[in-house]
Chains A and B, each alone.
Chain A
Amino acid sequence: QQQVKQSPQSLIVQKGGISIINCAYENTAFDYFPWYQQFPGKGPALLIAIRPDVSEKKEGRFTISFNKSAKQFSLHIMDSQPGDSATYFCAPLGGRRALPFGSGTRLQVQP
């Protein structure tokens, strides 16, 4: 059973453009919705996260939009920069079951 579906698998964006990555989940017990960023040769690191009591959270150029009824949340990167090139994972949390990660989105921001 695939608990988390992430799309797209890869994304190429021009510098200054908007990058959008989506995550759909099935488990209604999830109550914490983070996005992780992973650079080559490094471990994933928390980028931004949201609780289900709000529909949007913004931190600098990064925004999470959350749609509880659709069981989806997305990451928006405004004014994308080459330094944002990385793999992004959604990893919703809730309960003590295995912590599923999305399949990852490889973002490439072209100069």
Chain B
Amino acid sequence: DTAVSQTPKYLVTQMGNDKSIKCEQNLGHDTMYWYKQDSKKFLKIMFSYNNKELIINETVPNRFSPKSPDKAHLNLHINSLELGDSAVYFCASSRGAGELFFGEGSRLTVL
């Protein structure tokens, strides 16, 4: 039974399109995150939600909008996709500021 699941695993789309990535965790955690991993493996935090409240919003373009309908879900919507958005996006969850549990990632390719 997957703890942190993301869909889709792969996403190939054209520049200018809008796409969403969904994340669900069944660990009962109160905090969820989105990370972006580029081709050089750098992991950069984008957003963090605690009990549905946005607590971390790094310098991410406004085209990226997270939505947390409940504590177990954190979705990421991206408008007007650009070539530089190509990366692997990881969802993660934790209990407070503790160990992070990551999903398997969603590889986004923008053509």
**Least Cβ–Cβ distance between A9 and chain B, in angstroms:** 9
Cα-based distance from A93 to B102 in the complex (angstroms): 16
Residues of A within 8 A of B43 (CB): 44, 89, 101, 104
**A-B CB pair tally, cutoff 8 Å:** 60
B interface residue numbers (CB < 8 A to A): 4, 33, 35, 40-45, 48, 55-56, 58, 90, 92, 97-105
- Chain B residue at smallest Cβ distance from A36: B100
- List 5 A-B pairs, minimum CB-CB distance, nearest first: A43-B102, A101-B43, A104-B41, A98-B45, A46-B99
The minimal Cβ–Cβ distance linking B13 to chain A, given in whole angstroms, is 20
By DSSP majority rule, is chain B's interface helix, strand, loop, or mixed?
A: strand
> Among the interface residues B98, B100, B102, B103, which one has the most CB atoms of the partner chain A within 10 A?
B100
Assess whether B97 is in contact with A95, with CB atoms less than 8 Å apart. yes
The residues of B that contact A94 with a CB separation of less than 8 Å are: 97
Given contacts A32-B97, A43-B90, A103-B40, 9 further A-B contacts (CB under 8 A): A42-B104, A43-B92, A44-B90, A45-B102, A87-B41, A99-B33, A99-B97, A101-B42, A103-B42
- Cβ–Cβ contact A96 & B102, under 8 A: no
B residues in contact with A89, CB < 8 Å = 43
Chain B proximity of A24: nearest CB distance (Å): 17
A residues in contact with B105, CB < 8 Å: 41-43
B33 contacts across to A, CB distance below 8 A: 99
Please state if B98 and A32 are interface contacts (CB–CB under 8 Å): yes
Q: What residues on A are CB-neighbors of B55 within 8 Å?
A: 96
* 29 A-B contacts (beta carbon < 8 Å): A32-B97, A32-B98, A34-B99, A38-B41, A41-B104, A43-B4, A43-B90, A44-B90, A44-B102, A46-B99, A46-B100, A49-B99, A89-B43, A93-B97, A93-B98, A95-B97, A96-B55, A98-B45, A98-B48, A99-B45, A99-B48, A99-B56, A99-B97, A100-B45, A101-B44, A101-B45, A104-B41, A104-B42, A106-B41
